[in-house]
Amino acid sequence: MAEFSDTDLCAIPLGKPPEGQVSNFVDPPSLSRINIVINGTVMASTFLIVAGRLFVNRMMKMLTWSDYLALMALVLSLTEASLMLTQLRLARHAWDIPVCWRLGNATKIYFARACLVITATALAKAAILLLFNQMFTVERRAHVAILAGLVVNGVLFLLGIAFESYDVVPAPGQTWDQAALSDKSDRFSTWAIATGVLTLLLDIYIFVLPVPFIARLNWSTRQRLKALAMFSTGLLAVVTSLTSLVYRVRMMEEEQSDMTWYAALVLMCIVVEVHIAIIVSSMPGFAKFMRVYLGGTMTGSSRAAGGDCEKNKPRTRGERYTEMRESWLFKTTGTATAMAKADDTADAAVVPGMRPAPALSGVDAGADSSH
């Protein structure tokens, strides 16, 4: 950049400090520590839940597109986190960042992070919608509702990539350094708020989508509450999406340009939202993992303590039906016995709108023969 050829860009702040403040390049306020803590916490939780989901579904040979999309979203999010570690020093107020830190590969890395997060968000929400498609019988209205969610999710993905490209990628004849120091982002703020509003509406839509389907099932109150509690995690996604929108509005309203600080906050909220979406799509599978591998161990210990009387107590027909009603949602093993498979049609009538649980070969046959 010819106009800065004789200037020490590492001595010039990226933004003008507010009145009464001075730039601090040594030890300024920073979001780096909270960024590491929040990202590390949600990442570890998400990794464990997805690992449990994939393990149990693979063991049962029940992997679906929802599993694959959740895994892809997690991989992309982990990749973004690794890039985030290289840019922690940019999580400051603009007037505490030297101009030279925004040059070189910094803008390219930021653009890569944004694209990774946008893609991971779309994949995670698609995983939730496909999970709904698996869980509930696809009536025409349900199919239209899920398909509409997938279409809107895809449109938001394309808009996000397009707007981010406009905001960051150099125009023809422009270098990356020139683009990094341009004022395009000021004009982009309105679009950022618009996409933030649409994202919030989509999150609310996905959050309430399963409620009417669960309400129509012929379940006990306990079973309904258990299913609703499983998806209540999605409320956190709505909260983080709303928080992200607030920061986008603040970004546009600030009299002194402080894009770097608010961009870090917005990106942090989006990353948390991605992980929450992955967790929501993985909760039924993780619940299955807990019941199969941890619940089974505790149950076995309890039966051993109870003696042979409890061990040899036959299960009643009502118990089998209760297990069948919960087995598709929570996917537990040992519940779809040969007798239950023979009664799938009757069970479907008892539970309208719910698909009968798939047979689990080997485990079920062995369980049934013991009775």
The verdict on 241 and 355 lying in the same domain is no
Single-letter amino acid, residue 158 = L
> Cα separation of 114 and 93, whole Å?
19
Q: At what angle do helices 65-84 and 32-59 cross, to 10 degrees?
A: 160
Between 219 and 84, the higher pLDDT residue:
84
The verdict on 267 and 351 lying in the same domain is no
The CATH number for 160's domain is: 1.20.1070
- Say which range, 73-87, 193-207, 352-366, has the weakest mean pLDDT: 352-366
Give 136's strand partners: 354
Distances (CA, A) of 114 to 53, 86, 192, 270, 311: 27, 14, 13, 10, 56
The verdict on 164 and 110 lying in the same domain is yes
The verdict on 275 and 321 lying in the same domain is no
Evaluate whether residue 307 is within a structural domain: no
The verdict on 264 and 127 lying in the same domain is yes
Evaluate whether residue 279 is within a structural domain: yes
53 Cβ neighbours under 8 A, 6+ residues apart: 67, 70, 282, 285, 286, 288, 289
The verdict on 361 and 255 lying in the same domain is no
> Cα separation of 229 and 217, whole Å?
16
> Cα separation of 43 and 275, whole Å?
7
The verdict on 274 and 357 lying in the same domain is no
Domain of residue 335, residue span = 314-369
Structural contact between residues 25 and 104, judged by C-beta atoms closer than 8 angstroms: no
Q: What is the pLDDT of residue 151?
A: 96
> Cα separation of 363 and 347, whole Å?
21
Domain count of the chain? 2
158 Cβ neighbours under 8 A, 6+ residues apart: none
Q: What is the pLDDT of residue 28?
A: 92
The verdict on 99 and 60 lying in the same domain is yes
Structural contact between residues 286 and 53, judged by C-beta atoms closer than 8 angstroms: yes
Q: What is the pLDDT of residue 220?
A: 77
The verdict on 277 and 320 lying in the same domain is no
The verdict on 95 and 244 lying in the same domain is yes
Q: What is the largest CA-CA distance in the chain?
A: 90
Evaluate whether residue 19 is within a structural domain: no
Q: What is the pLDDT of residue 311?
A: 47
Sign of the alpha-carbon dihedral angle for 141, 145, 150, 151:
positive
Single-letter amino acid, residue 10 = C
Structural contact between residues 308 and 291, judged by C-beta atoms closer than 8 angstroms: no
Evaluate whether residue 127 is within a structural domain: yes
Q: What is the pLDDT of residue 195?
A: 86
Evaluate whether residue 72 is within a structural domain: yes
Mean pLDDT of 294-304: 53
- The percent of residues in the chain predicted with pLDDT above 90, rounded, is 32
Evaluate whether residue 309 is within a structural domain: no
Evaluate whether residue 16 is within a structural domain: no
Residue 325: pLDDT over 80: no
pLDDT digits (tens, 9 = 90+) for 229-273: 777 778 888 999 999 888 888 877 765 567 888 888 988 999 999
Instruction: Indicate whether this model's pTM tops 0.85.
Output: no
Between 322 and 103, the higher pLDDT residue:
103
Residue where one domain finishes, among candidates 255, 290, 325? 290
Burial class (CB in 10 A: 0-12, 13-18, 19+), 300: exposed
Task: Measure the CA angle with vertex 156, ends 154 and 161; round to 5°.
Answer: 100
The verdict on 96 and 236 lying in the same domain is yes
Mean pLDDT of 185-190: 58
Evaluate whether residue 299 is within a structural domain: no
Residue 227: pLDDT over 70: yes
